Each structure stands twice: as C-alpha cells, then as structure tokens.
Amino acid sequence: MALEALKKSVIHCSFGVNLSQIRELAEKESEDGVFKMLRSDVTRFLTTILIGTTVVNIGATALVTDAATAIFGEAGVSAATGVMTVAILLLTEITPKSIAVHNPTEVASFVVRPVAWLSVILYPVGRVVTYLSMGMLKTLGLKGKSEPYVTEDELKLMLRGAELSGAIEEEEQDMIENVLEIKDTHVREVMTPLVDVVAIDASSTLVNFHNLWLTHQYSRVPVFEQRVDNIVGIAYAMDLLDYVPKGELLESITVGDMAHKPAYFVPDSMSVWNLLREFRIRKVHMAVVLNEYGGTVGIVTLEDAVEEIVGEIFDENDSKEEIQKKTGYIVMRAEGIFDVDANTSIDQLSEDLNIKMPEEHQYETVSGFVCEAFGYIPRTGESIKVVLEKENEEDDENSEAGSDRQDLKERHQNYKLEILAGNARKVSAIRFERINNGEALLDATAITPMIPKIMKRKWTSDEESNNGNHDEDTFEKRQEDDISDDYVIADYKEDKESPNGQ
C-alpha cells in the first residue's frame, strides 16, 4: 500500500513540477543525479510507475482477498472488496495525490530517487510492453506519435486560467496569444493596400518631398517611377536633414537620388513571423508587398507587424481621421442602426453586431464583405438585405421539421445594408440596419447557415445616385457634424441620446 501511495505521489508531482523546475533541480545535482535522469527520459519514469502501479494493485488485492477468505470464509470476498476499495481511495488515491499536488517540488525530491532505483528493475519489462503496444498499433493501422509536453491549445487554456486567477493581466494574455497566432497571420492581412499608400515620384525634388512630409509626417515614403505600382526604393525623411545646409540643392536634387535602393520586396503570402525575422536580419522597417503575379499590392512596415502582437500603435502625429482610416469605426446611430467604416475589420464587426461571418470568407474588411454581398462594387445610395447567422447560436440538428421556421428566426438576423459613401473604385461607409425578423418572413430553404444570403436589392431614385456622381465626402461631412467621440469605435453608451441618422 505504501508503494502504491508512493507511485501516485510521483505521478502527480510530475505533473505539478513543470519543466523549468525540473531543469533547475537537475542543474543542482551531480552528473548522475536522478533529476537529470528524469529530465532526459521522462517516459522511462512513467513506464516504471504504470507497471509498478498495476502489479501492486493486483498483488495487494489478491493477498487481502486470500487472507479474508481464510478468516471469514466466503464472506471474506465481500469484506476484502469493501476494505480494499476504501483503502485504495483514501490511502493510495486521494491522500497522496493531494499531498503531491500541493507540494510538488518537495514530494518529487523525496520520491524520485526510489522510483529511479525501481526503474532499473522494471524498465526492461516496460520496453517489452512498449514494443507490444506499438505492434498492436501497427496492426490496427495506427501510428504512434510523439507529442510535445504542452500543446498550443493547452498553453492557451493555461493562459486563460492564469488570467482568471489574476496571475496575469488580460492584456498580457492577449499579447501572448497573439505571439502564438502570428505564424498563421499573413502579410496581406496587415499590409496597407496600394490604394491607400502615400508615395512620391522619383523625379520629384526634395522640396516636393519636404512638402509631402509636412502634410503626412511619414518618416519613410515609397518612391516610384512612372507608375505608383512600380516602387523602386524608399525615401527617408531623416535624410532631408543632410541637405538643409545646402538649401540651393533642394530644387535640383531629386528624390530618386536620395532614395534607398532597391526596395525590399515580400510576397503577400509570407507569415508575419517570418517578416519580423527578415526585418531584424535586414535592418529595414518597410517592405513592398507583391502578389503571386509580381504585381505591387501594398506596403508593410515593422509597426504593422508589431501591432499584431501589442495592438494598434499611434503617435502624436496621427490625426483622428488617420486613426479612423487605419482602424475603421462603428457608430451606433440608434437602436439596431450602425454606421460602419469600410476599413473596419470583419472580426470587429462580428464582435460588435454579435453576428457570425462565413468560415471561408476571402475578405478582411467590411468593404470586402459588402462587395461580395452585392456581387459588384455598389454605388452610393444602393441597399440590399442580407441574412446573417447570430453569434453563439448552435444549430439544433434534432429539431423537428415543423419548427424549422421558428429555429431560423432564432438563429439568423436580417440586416439592411445601405451604401452611405463611396466611388467607382471602392466603398467608404455602410449603414447596417437590423430588421425585425417578423417583418421579413423567410423560407427555410432560402437560408444557408453562415453564408450571407441576398434577399432583395433596391436602387434609389436619388438623382445624384442615378447620374453616377458619387460623393466621397458625403459621410465624412456628416461624421464631422454628428459623430462624437462617445460613439466612435463601438465605445458607445446606450444611455446617451443617439444622433438622428439619415
């Protein structure tokens, strides 16, 4: 019984002592220390423990049953069963495990040496058992696979537990999870698209470059020749300081002469993890992003990559318009009515509107979602009705056919999408208006879960929309008049009076 308790203690102290603690204990030992042995071959210890536990349980049960039968006759079997059940639960399961969990390091230091000695005797048996089990796996067509001590999912679960216990802050948990996910994030997801890139012609003078810097305050600007997608280098604003004493040269020297060439090019499929590594190795802060055909699709900076870990970074030169352009925003106009910037991420929209987007969508922003819903780039004033699945709503596969219509109402939400601003090339602002499901009865066969379903397209009779003049500034002017900081970026308060939206 004592041996069984010892083995249970070893098992639980092994899980209680993490790898860093085992490494620390091993460093304090001599070359033949048991913790060094444990660190180098954990499987040997676990095999010894499992074999010993099985042998002890069987042997103890047989001995107690034999003794009880000799004393009490046939009634001894029942007595032995009851006594062994209580003894095993109390003396070899609950008590030793509790002690080991609360004092893992101390228990490990005490019990690991006897187990190490025992492993010398039982390990050969363990090798035979291991080979037999591997043979059974091969017979069944399965393949043994070595797993890491802690998987990524287990690590995330540990982080959530640490955050709930107060050991780490929520922001720290988010940053660590972002580091784990950054290998699966591609450059195309974090880059600045070419249509939003501020660049300068290589033939421009340094005076033009200085004026551009005064307007945008960018420390690095892509330099192009003939076409904006033909980027040949990067101009550094700091380099202008070298020419300040030579004022007469500012009009004669071109940006192409001072640009750092060639530019660093990366594919849009590169992971942000590899991008960070390349930035560090090459000692650059900006790269030109190319698609699979070699065409320029945008630029990516070191700041873009770091923001995937720590969140959005702003400096004193970022204006409110630049911040909103970078992050997008969601404005609650009234109950169930949201004005959304086209640059807003799909994840942010899903979170704030409590909706679920299609799993395999190929867009990152609200603009991409809207264009897919319409099937083309919509004009200002156009509207459409879509059906989206609510977040945190599970499909009931066992529901009866007679209740399908009611289930669809509960699982899905109708929205009217109206284009507030845009032009022939892109959408700038959209209004999401929640529609009461009772106002739009939908056939169950007309909805595909998790896929926006176009129900109705309506063209406005607005003369401005019909003649093809698309006012890019319509929503921006309305924003300056109506939107306050209390409502921007989903930080709205329901107890405030919402501005009247139209």
* Residue listed under structure tokens 């994030």: 185
What residue ranges of the chain are covered by domains with CATH 3.30.465.10? Answer: 320-490
> CA 502 to CA 500: how far, in whole Å?
7
β-pair partners for 334: 337
Structure tokens at 36: 């060094």
pLDDT value of residue 496 = 40
**Cα–Cα distance, 304 to 311 (Å, whole number):** 9
Q: pLDDT of the chain along its 502 residues, tens only?
A: 444 445 555 554 544 455 556 666 666 766 666 666 666 666 677 777 777 777 877 887 888 888 888 888 877 788 878 887 887 777 777 777 777 667 766 676 677 777 777 777 777 787 787 788 778 878 887 765 554 456 777 778 888 888 888 888 888 888 888 888 888 889 998 899 998 899 999 999 998 999 999 888 888 999 999 999 999 999 999 988 888 777 677 788 899 989 999 999 999 999 999 999 999 999 999 999 999 999 999 999 999 999 888 877 766 666 555 655 555 678 888 888 899 988 888 888 888 888 887 767 778 888 888 988 888 999 999 999 888 888 764 444 444 444 455 455 567 788 899 999 888 888 889 999 988 765 554 443 333 333 444 443 444 434 444 444 444 444 444 444 443 333 333 333 333 444 444 3
Q: Read off the tokens for 44.
A: 């040997």
Strands (E), 381-458: 383-390, 412-422, 427-435, 453-458
- In order of 7, 12, 82, 325, the CA distances from 91 in angstroms are 12, 15, 14, 66
Q: Amino acid identity of 407?
A: D
3-class SS letters over 370-398: HHHHHCCCCCCCCEEEEEEEECCCCCCCC
Q: Both tokens of residue 292?
A: 């699979």
> In the structure encoding, which two tokens stand for residue 196, read together?
């939003």
Token pair of 180, please? Answer: 């784990």
CATH class of 187-310: alpha beta
Helices (H), 28-74: 34-40, 42-72
For 450: left if phi > 0, alpha if psi spans -120 to 50, otherwise beta; the answer is left
Question: CA separation (Å) from 235 to 198, 219, 223, 256, 477?
Answer: 12, 8, 6, 8, 34
Q: Which residues pair with 422 in a beta bridge?
A: 427
Segments of the chain assigned to CATH 3.10.580.10: 187-310
- 16 burial (CB, 10 Å; 0-12 / 13-18 / 19+) is middle
The domain over range 320-490 is classified in CATH as 3.30.465.10:
yes
Q: Measuring CA to CA, which residue among 431, 432, 419, 418 is closest to residue 472? A: 419
